A and B are shown apart, each in its own frame.
Chain A
């Protein structure tokens, strides 16, 4: 269960969403390419709700979906 803040367990990175694929390297999690900022936001919103996770903005055009 999500128990953010209580126990200091590690969270898990579920996905990366970006408009600039050259900024993301390597694998492990799926990388979703969005055509613009708007799509990036909507994909992130949907995924954060679907995965019960949180969308974090790295402020460089890359978003990560992370579950605590």
Chain B
């Protein structure tokens, strides 16, 4: 019972990985099998404890060790791709993905454990109900990380040139020497201004990893003209140091401003970039 529900919960959590990862059948196979193992471990724990087989607990500890391994595996494989990609995800994003994969296995284990406790205590119907509830909770609570749209206002703007400097509002993005390149960028480039809603958001957007994640999402969803050896087309995000606003410039395959706004809005806020400085007294004092 616990085994089945646990595996289902892993599949449910996996299906909703829309961020193009894992985007291929082998990735699914790996994670579903590991989810299955996690579910099995969670499920057998209860009957084993009932039989007073306390060694079962050590198996759980062993499992935790294994799942840490999953995190390493994800991190390694993503980092390898990172080296040859034109618009990298950034360290923070990778770390976030790896952490999510690890923790989802714990969720699966917990689901299986909860289900098998309920089944043992009250019968299989209650097991089913408990399992569904746990899946629903983990689905709504853990799958719903914050997105950039929650912490900032994103407005489309037109990038322009001040002499050779590419500007987004009053943020300098880069210096482009070649006149032909400038013309192309001026004609086809799109940009958004990301305005943080409060000081927490400002601190989050300040994080280079977070910005790289935004760039990666934008460039993936709209396509980018970035090319090996042609740095002019590289998408960039720079900060207005006085206001904390981020100017994000992209030379997209599909130059649709509103699509870019949407892409930025749904970029996840990275766990490693998330700041909550307003919760401290010093920062509240500094903020007025």
Contacts and interface: CB of A to CB of B under 8 A. Distances in A.
Chain A bound to chain B: yes
Interface of A: 1-8, 41, 44-45, 48-49, 51-57, 59, 63, 67-68
Contacts of A49: 229-230
Nearest to A45: B178
Contacts of A48: 177-178, 230-231
Given A6-B208, A56-B164, A68 B231 contact: yes
A44 to B, nearest CB: 6
B88 interface: yes
Interface residues of B, number: 26
Q: Give chain B's interface secondary structure class.
A: mixed
Contacts of A44: 177-178
B276 interface: no
Given A5-B215, A5-B237, A68-B231, A55 B178 contact: yes
Q: Give chain A's interface secondary structure class.
A: loop
B229 A59 contact: no
A48 to B, nearest CB: 7
B179 interface: yes
A2 B85 CA distance: 9
List the 9 closest A-B pairs by CB distance, nearest first: A52-B229, A57-B177, A55-B177, A54-B231, A57-B164, A56-B175, A56-B177, A6-B88, A4-B234
